[in-house]
Amino acid sequence: MAVEPAPTTAFGPFRVSVDAARAADYAREIGGAPPAEGYAPLCYPAVWFSLPEIRAAISDACLAADSVPVHESQGFAFVAPLRIGENFDLTVQMRRDAAPPRLVIDALVATPEGLPRARIETMLRLVPRQSVQKGASA
């Protein structure tokens, strides 16, 4: 049986920036000192996944599958650190895999001039609400 390629949905680019107060809050909650030298914590771009369009897409996928999103893996790779106050463009691609059911989210952070600064890879396992799943962390 032929396997259909999983459809990919693209979002953005979204104009985002590193907010100083939020970066300080984030640093505190991960056990770090306030951002040094004016740079955001490396994992700070995770906060941009709460943008309404991205949040809605994740929520819709979970509702369609009657599932709870469970964070399976996460990766960040930087060309250069993100300076507080600078603007960036965030582009997101989201793919739904069927077996096992998961959302694969690839995001690219670039300068407004188009220079890549960071790549973010997120995998969310879609766990059916009634199932017992002890093998993953959220």
Residues within the interface to another protein (CB under 8 A): 22, 25-33, 37, 39, 41-43, 46-47, 49-50, 68-78, 80-81, 121, 127, 129-138
Question: Tokens in use for 92?
Answer: 């997101």
Which of 4/113 has CB closer to another protein? 113
Q: How far is the CB of 1 from another protein (least distance, A)?
A: 30
Contact 29, 89 (CB under 8 A): no
Which of 4/104 has CB closer to another protein? 104
Which of 9/73 has CB closer to another protein? 73
CA dist 49 and 44 (Å) reads 10
Q: How far is the CB of 125 from another protein (least distance, A)?
A: 9
3-state secondary structure of 81: coil
Concatenated DSSP letters of 46-73: GGGGGSHHHHHHHHHHHHHHTEEEEEEE
By C-alpha distance, which of 104, 6, 107, 121 is closest to 58?
104
Which of 67/96 has CB closer to another protein? 67
Q: How far is the CB of 31 from another protein (least distance, A)?
A: 5
